[in-house]
Amino acid sequence: MKKKGIVIGLSCLIVVLLAAIGAVVFYGKSRENQAEGSSSQRGTVASETKKTEETTETDDVEGGNRTEENAVGNLSGNINNGGYVVENEEYVFYSYQGVLWRIGQDGTGKRALYEGECSSLNLWNDRIYFLLEEKKEGGDYGFYTNRTPCRIGLNGEDFETIGPTLPEDKVRVSYSEPVKYGRTAAYRGFTVCDGYIYYIGSNGRAGSYFCSADYGDRTSQKQSVVFVDNTSVYRMDPDGSNVTELIGNIGNASPQMCIDHGQLYYTISYFNYYFSPYDFTRYCRADMKTWSTTELPVESSVRDVFNSDFGANTDYVLSIQVMDGKLYASFGDSEGEFPDSRFHVYDETNRSFGEPLFEERSWNGTVAFGGKLYGSGGGREYTEDGAALTNRALTVFDTSGRQEKLLKVFDEETYGGDEWFNNLHYEINVSGGWAYYRCSGWEENGEKEELGRISLDGSRQEFFTGL
């Protein structure tokens, strides 16, 4: 088993010399001032030849190549939910309890490939690309995650880091005058597509903007916000070289991205001083050949309350994904009976995301795949003391939110759950003909740790670990 311990510090920024123009660009940073949310590579990226990485030959594993045009190394919905599993015809590769594992599709030959907390797994050209994660204490919210991009062969050979270690979600906030707010982004949305790696990262640019609130019967307020680290969409080669800023300055709060059929969807997200995490949000997509960008307009329901230099729409966006040309978003709801995620689909005609698709309220993310939605459901019942019995079943929904099938019911006696709401935390990934689940095992809720999968027709269930 290979041991964790290869960590590259923030000081190890890779310098790429652009001799043709005599410029110097720092890894993950750009000194140019780009317009907010704009493409910084128009006229150059479109003319580039698509890169193809040479396939690594191995003794006992073949296959796993994803060479069709617009292919991705993993679904955006999976990456939103930890991205802990990828597979080919022969093997399943998964991250569980701090180890990257490989197991045969027939359930034999389980083997540890790497020791370390791994997320955002992508399978491309006989290699697994992933983020090595380490939880750290610090920042004004107490915790953040150091992320290091890595790749490894399908037999555990040729492990290498392909970029520097950077902090994700490290928040710095000061409520002095003016307000200062910073939130780092590190390889967010990490996706391999057509021989490149795409992600959101901090760009080191500082700036300021105004936001305001008008509460009607109260005095209107206006606040200046200063930020020290904006974010951008980046692309790099599979070996970590040729880092390119594609779309600059997409916000200092929590921008998100996903890729679908030659389109990169992203949000522009700026901190709302008056009502964060309902931050000022805009939705856009970019053509991945020309890098021309289009905004998807949203009419805000609270437009008369909040406003900013970046618009008036405010959303608490946890993640986005696209299926069959439709944009889906998971929104946080901190005003409900308990914090949860609600799943919505964008309605271009009405310029809105409409009502939640599901009745259930849950932190468990949903995956859109093959014309279906895989999420938490199972009906909504109440005990005599009023506790909600919710979120106990991995469920197949149609795109209108109607329940079609319960794939697995997590009974309380076996799997535990929250004492009051009977809520169970598990992450859903979908790959091939299987829906995977990974139970978190939160000790305070008495939850069970387990990783397994159920065939999409519900006829088979297999356990990889936990029993």
Contact 335, 303 (CB under 8 A): no
Cβ neighbours of 149 (radius 10 Å): 24
**Tens digits of residue pLDDT in 145-156:** 999 999 999 999
Mean pLDDT on 427-434: 96
User: Is 377's pLDDT higher than 60?
Assistant: yes
**Tens digits of residue pLDDT in 213-242:** 988 766 789 999 999 899 999 999 999 999
CA distance 376 to 436: 13
Mean pLDDT on 10-38: 39
The pLDDT of residue 364:
86
- The amino acid occupying position 83 is G
The pLDDT of residue 13:
33
The pLDDT of residue 91:
97
Name the band, by pLDDT with cuts 50, 70 and 90, for residue 103: very high
CA distance 279 to 82: 23
Weakest mean pLDDT among 1-10, 30-39, 167-176: 1-10
The pLDDT of residue 142:
79
User: Is 369's pLDDT higher than 60?
Assistant: yes
CA distance 439 to 84: 12
The pLDDT of residue 448:
83
The pLDDT of residue 149:
99
CA distance 190 to 128: 12
Return the domain boundaries, the chain: 15-356
Contact 339, 326 (CB under 8 A): no
* 4's tokens: 């964790």
Contact 283, 289 (CB under 8 A): no
Mean pLDDT on 131-140: 89
Mean pLDDT on 423-437: 92
Contacts by residues 171-180 (CB-CB < 8 Å, ≥ 24 positions apart): 171/139, 171/140, 171/141, 171/144, 172/139, 172/140, 172/228, 173/140, 178/208, 178/223, 178/224, 178/225, 178/226, 179/223, 179/224, 179/225, 179/226, 179/273, 180/225, 180/226, 180/227, 180/228
Length of the chain: 467
Whole-Å CA distances, 244 to 81, 166, 448: 26, 17, 43
- CA 388 to centroid of chain Cα atoms: 28
| Percent above pLDDT 90 for the chain | 63
The pTM of the full predicted model, rounded to 2 decimals, is 0.84
Short-list 63, 56, 152, CA closest to 105: 63
- Specify the higher pLDDT residue, 61 or 348: 348
Name the band, by pLDDT with cuts 50, 70 and 90, for residue 419: low
The pLDDT of residue 58:
37
**Tens digits of residue pLDDT in 242-270:** 999 999 999 999 999 999 999 999 999 99
User: Is 119's pLDDT higher than 50?
Assistant: yes
User: Is 59's pLDDT higher than 90?
Assistant: no
**Tens digits of residue pLDDT in 280-336:** 999 999 999 999 999 999 987 655 689 999 999 999 999 999 999 999 999 987 654
Name the band, by pLDDT with cuts 50, 70 and 90, for residue 31: very low
Return the CA Rg of the chain.
Answer: 22
Weakest mean pLDDT among 251-255, 277-281, 379-383, 400-404: 379-383
CA distance 164 to 150: 10
- CATH 2.120.10 describes domain 15-356: yes
Q: Are strands 179-183 and 221-227 parallel, antiparallel or unpaired?
A: parallel
Give the full edge-to-edge strand order of the sheet including 38-39.
38-39, 244-248, 231-236, 196-202, 188-193
- Is 79 in a helix, a strand, or coil? helix
